Amino acid sequence: MYGRKAYQLVKEFTNSESGQLTGFNDDLFAQVIEDCKEHVLKLQSLLRKMQEEGSDNQTTKNADHFGALMHHLALVRNKRCLMAYMYNRAEVVQNLGWTVDLVLPVEIEEKLSVSEKEYFKSHSKTLKSYMSDLDIDLAVDMVPPKDPYIKVRVLEEIGNVVLSDQSANLTRFAILFLRRTDAEQYISQGKMEELTG
């Protein structure tokens, strides 16, 4: 049945959790591209045959006309499904640019295609450049915190770092009070966790 593979591709994305990515399905994506190529070839063949017979596309409604229409509609549907798959994945990748620093966690990076990785890097660099030009961090929470300091636990050895108001040794399992703006980059990278209460 025409469009079944493209439907499976979109269904795969919609079955995943909102805002989460599954691995890029290279095989199914390539199969849908091949289906599109086959539809284009069959459509061109039918149109060429109709031209050779001298059929008027507007008045003659024969099997060739309806066959060409079916291939055209299948081609359009496949293209729309491919675009929906890529657009929705690109939206998730864009949102990652707001929550993750320039370095993607390995478990997320494994799920991206090569072009999606390049897109993420480009988008993140553009965001960073824009924020540095404005001298403001737009990735900070939209709701102002009650306290500018938060209690955090260091999950990975980070070492000595210079923060906005102090320098700190961020050793593994250390519990510290840091400015929210200083800690957020490490929290988003999974190197720290915020402790509540």
What is the percentage of the chain residues whose pLDDT exceeds 70?
92
- Does this model's pTM top 0.85? My answer is no
Among left, alpha and beta (phi > 0; psi -120 to 50; other), residue 19 is left
Q: What is the 3-state secondary structure (H, E, C) of 76-120?
A: HHHHHHHHHHHHHHHHHHHHHHHHCCCCCCHHHHCCCCHHHHHHH
Residue 193 has pLDDT above 70, yes or no: yes
Q: Hey, where are the domains in the chain?
A: 4-134, 149-194
**Does position 194 have pLDDT exceeding 70, yes or no?**
yes
The pair of three-digit structure tokens given for residue 101, joined into one six-digit string: 């620093």
For residues 173 and 153, the answer to whether their CB atoms sit within 8 Å is: yes
Reported as a single tens digit per residue, the pLDDT across 119-139 is 999 988 888 898 888 877 777
Is residue 85 over pLDDT 90?
yes
Examine the pLDDT at 24 and tell me if it is beyond 70.
yes
Confidence of residue 197 (pLDDT cuts 50, 70, 90): low
CATH of domain 4-134: 1.20.58.1030
Q: How far apart are CA 137 and CA 150, in angstroms?
A: 18
State the distance between the two ends of the chain, measured CA to CA, in whole angstroms.
57
Q: Which of 112, 80, 84 is nearest to 96 (CA)?
A: 112
Average pLDDT in the chain = 86
